[in-house]
Structure 1
Amino acid sequence: MTGAGTNRTKTSLCGGPAIILVRPQLAVNIGMSARAMANFGLADLRLVSPREGWPRAGAYRKGAYAAAAGAVHLLESARLFDSVEAAILDLNYVWATTARERGQYKKILTPAEAMPECAQKIMTGEKQGVLFGPERTGLANDEVALADAIITFPVNPAYASLNLAQAVLLTGYEWMRAASDAKPPYAIVQRSPAAPREMALSFFDYLESELDRAGFFRPKSKQPVMRRNLRNMLHRMQLTEQDVRSLRGMVVRLVEGPRTGDERTNKPGEARPEEDV
């Protein structure tokens, strides 16, 4: 199963720090971690002594692959290790994630602080990795001792335990922000140019005349203020040419009533310009 945002025609980002899951307990969390990695261009998944072994089989495999939602390539390329030491041998710098203060004299950063440093070092050719502990207990103190620095998350102190895949997701998000320009992947498509002031004022005059005829501006003493408020409201909308045509067409129909075949002077199937919606 793949998500609505999956587009196989586009180049997939890859790189970043290795994501090292230490003794993960649930196959579904491994799958969701792979999905989080794929979302943010992380490509190196390492597993240390998964509780049920790896690769999974049967229902465990099905659960992991379903949770990966199209990121199964990361599950299939995941490397298996017997110990944390073996998993980090080729790395120059290791981060350990933990929600608890461990009494170890190490630099402690949030993901937003750690990932820019990580990205800068990776650009110079360093290999880095992030350790994530098992769901129930987190990393052991001896495993944290293997790391160079600690990543912790700014969370509710009364409920600081994060789901494993959520922790990977937050780290991956900050990695993407640090390693790219962090702009939205797409922008609004301007399908109609902004309405010229002449076009907007013409519509305002027409609208106000019809509202006046219908008795909208009451009492008369408040008419100037009501007109200004109406125009300010419409100006805040930053109307396009299509917006003005649509609004004018709606007012025309409200004023003139339902359109009949005899009233139409344009060709069949051709909309009147002022009623183009």
Structure 2
Amino acid sequence: MSAAPKPVFILVRPQMGENIGAAARAMLNFGLDTMRLVDPRDGWPNPRAVAMASGAAGQVLDRAAVFPTLPEAIGDLDFVFATTARSRELTKPIYSPEEAMAEARLRIARGERVGVMFGPERAGLENEDVSRANAIITVPVNPDFPSLNLGQAVLLTGYEWIRQTEPVTPVQPGLAGGEPASRIEIEKLGDHYEERLEEAGFFFPETKAAGMKLNLRNMWSRMGMTRADVQMLHGMLRQLLRNRG
């Protein structure tokens, strides 16, 4: 496989070892080798995954990294897609798999780290998961039966990745030299604001608090911020609280 940078595929709370193995096979079919697992239901390693991966695809499983939470799994990434077949009432750019992988190539060519999240087999990604992504990938399928299994979703996305065979010229991000903020920096910014707004009584009434926090988290992940932007927003909040005190 080429050593050139590629997207990271993140399986969020996968349930069956067989499906993890099928995903590994699909990834290797298209030259993808970086898998991350978030809280796999049956633990890890999983012998059923190894059996399903069959042969060379076992190397993808051998190198798979396991994380207890999604924020930890995506913390070092600059841009993350969430694959979902349903509207989650969250405002985000929506891409087809083809458009998403074209965007991934552009971003990787300019030095960004890109990830694609896939949800658990039974119900897919939860709102809380999707809120942490920058954009959504939706497949144009039969609206009366939109569900894809995990291996199919990985296969389709991997296929669109390999189809982007034209060399990509690095694109200047146009941020006046600003370096894009990492996912962990955005996560910490969200934590900072949520904690201080909680102290100020912003999340009221209590019945709406969870939805307000979800929308706020979604807003942070949707904004294309630089590290300087994140630092400024932290500083603004600290100054406001200092003046209030």
Q: How does 1:70-219 map to 2 (within 5 A)?
A: 70=55, 71-180=57-166
Matches of 1:153 and 1:16, distance apart in 2: 21
Aligned pair 1:35/2:25, yes or no? yes
- Unaligned 5+ segments in structure 1 are 1-11, 182-277
Deviations 1:84-104 (A, max 9, x none): 100001000000000101111
Residue 26 of structure 1 is matched in structure 2 by 16
What TM-score, normalized to structure 2?
Answer: 0.65
Amino acid at match of 2:135: A
Rounded to whole Å, the distance in 2 between the matches of 1:180 and 1:173 is: 14
Give how far 1:26 is off.
Answer: 0.5
Kept in 2, the 8 Å contact 1:13–1:42? The answer is no
Once residues 2 and 145 of structure 2 are traced to their aligned partners in structure 1, the CA distance between those partners, rounded to angstroms, is 33
Q: Measure, in 2, the Cα distance between the counterparts of 1:39 and 1:54.
A: 23
Moved over 3 A (4+): none
SS in 2 for 1:126: coil
Counterpart residue type for residue 37 of structure 1: M
Deviation (angstroms), 1:16 = 1.5
Deviations 1:186-244 (A, max 9, x none): xxxxxxxxxxxxxxxxxxxxxxxxxxxxxxxxxxxxxxxxxxxxxxxxxxxxxxxxxxx
| Matched position secondary structure for 1:174 | helix
Number of residue pairs matched?
165
Alpha-carbon displacement from aligned partner over 1:34-72 (angstroms, at most 9, x marks no partner): 00110111111000000001112xxxx0x2122112200
Kindly provide the amino acid, as one letter, of the partner of residue 177 in structure 1: R
Q: 2:212 aligns to what?
A: none
1:148, distance to aligned residue in structure 2 (A)? 0.2
1:239 paired residue number:
none
3-state SS in 1 of match to 2:124: coil
- CA shift, 1:179, in A, is 4.1
Instruction: Classify the secondary structure of the residue corresponding to 1:139.
Output: coil
CA contact (8 A) 1:13 1:40 kept: no
Q: Is contact 1:95-1:151 (8 Å) kept?
A: yes
Larger Rg: 1
SS in 2 for 1:113: helix
Amino acid at match of 1:166: Q
Partner SS state of residue 16, structure 1? coil
Within 1, Cα distance between the matches of 2:44 and 2:118?
A: 17
CA displacement 1:114-170 (0-9 Å, x = unmatched):
110111110111000000000001111011000000001111111100010100000
Relative to the length of structure 1, the TM-score reads: 0.58
**Inter-partner Cα distance in structure 2 for 1:74 and 1:152:** 25
* Structure 1 counterpart of 2:16, one-letter code: L
Structure 2: unaligned runs, 5 residues or longer: 168-245
Instruction: Indicate which of 13, 30, 33 corresponds to 2:2.
Output: 13
Q: RMSD of the TM alignment (CA)?
A: 1.2
In 2: Cα distance, 1:179 partner to 1:108 partner = 22
Tell me whether 1:69 sits opposite 2:59 in the alignment: no
